[in-house]
Amino acid sequence: MTQNKTALICGSLAFDKIMQYHGRFGEALLADQLHKVNVSFLVPTLRTEYGGCSANVAYNLNMLGGDPLIMATIGQDGGEYMERFAQLGIETRAIRKIASAYTAQCFVTADLDGNQINAFHPGAMEHSQELYAGDVGQVAIAIIGPDGREGMVKHAADCAALGIPFMFDPGQQLPRFDGAELIRFIDQATYLAANDYEFELLMDRTGLTLPEIASRLEALIVTRGAQGSEIYAGGERHLIPAVTAEKVVDPTGCGDAYRAGLLYGITEGFDWPTTGRLASLMGALKIAHQGGQNHAFTRDEIATRFHAAFGYAF
């Protein structure tokens, strides 16, 4: 009997609209007039990127040869995204179209100094609580990433009730939850993944220490950028080295690529050092490319790079 290795990916689906302003915001904003701002920026360049945490994770897990199943909401304008999933061979049966809303979209305007002015429209993402993990069939693991607030709460409760082990990955949505809610997530989850800033905020909100949080989970994963990452599991602390990227182009989606490596390692039964190293490699491969889903590697190419970085095969 073939072992079920399907990973349920709960999180946002979004379009990212990236605009470049060829000046400096500071030159257009008057310090003594910020109470009545009325400015316009000419943006000669505009590109649209496929984004959203669930899609980014699924894209990378699919690249590894895993079996991602996205559970998310998409808007009336999501036809092109659905066609893309079909071309990639990513299962879409758990994606629901919300005809009355647009797909979540982030509008990013950057200036010559790298400063950004962002506007985020959640759109269909705010309907994610209408989805139910029990409707998707058998899965081996789930990840609950940034999504509509109520959807994240519901998916965690549903996975816990259904006995589905899941990774809690609050990301940029973490500030929307209070301490009691975050403790409930931790107690329901099997794994928790956060970057170092998010984890400091998590400890501050919950009043729990790192050892206290780790003791409630099978594994706690804290990423620290170029300093690598740490995995706390079974009373042990595994230091995971960062993989040197060929070049540093765009960090967008690097955390999602890392989490795809974690999910693959867990479903394949790898030990934590190997799982963490694969996750680290996936982040390094992504950062060398613009956008969250423009890097493309075969599983064999990833395996070759893993061997070159760590001296053994996964």
According to the model, what pLDDT value does residue 118 have?
87
Q: Which residues of the chain have pLDDT under 50?
A: none
Amino acid 187: pLDDT: 98
Half-sphere exposure (Cβ direction) of 263: Cα atoms closer than 13 Å: 39
What pTM did the predictor assign? 0.94
- Quick one: three-class SS letters along the chain? CCCCCEEEEECCCEEEEEEECCCCHHHHCCHHHHHHCCCCCCCCEEEEEEECHHHHHHHHHHHCCCEEEEEEEEECCCHHHHHHHHHHCCECCCEEEECCCCCEEEEEEECCCCCEEEEEECHHHHHHHHCCHHHCCCCCEEEECCCCHHHHHHHHHHHHHHCCCEEECCHHHHHHCCHHHHHHHHHHCCEEEEEHHHHHHHHHHHCCCHHHHHHCCCEEEEECHHHCEEEEECCEEEEECCCCCCCCCCCCCHHHHHHHHHHHHHHHCCCHHHHHHHHHHHHHHHHCCCCCCCCCCCHHHHHHHHHHHHCCCC
Q: What is the pLDDT of residue 38?
A: 83
What is the structure's pLDDT at 2? 61
Q: Which pLDDT does position 271 carry in this prediction?
A: 98
Task: Please name each of the domains of the chain with its CATH number.
Answer: 6-23+46-310 (3.40.1190.20)
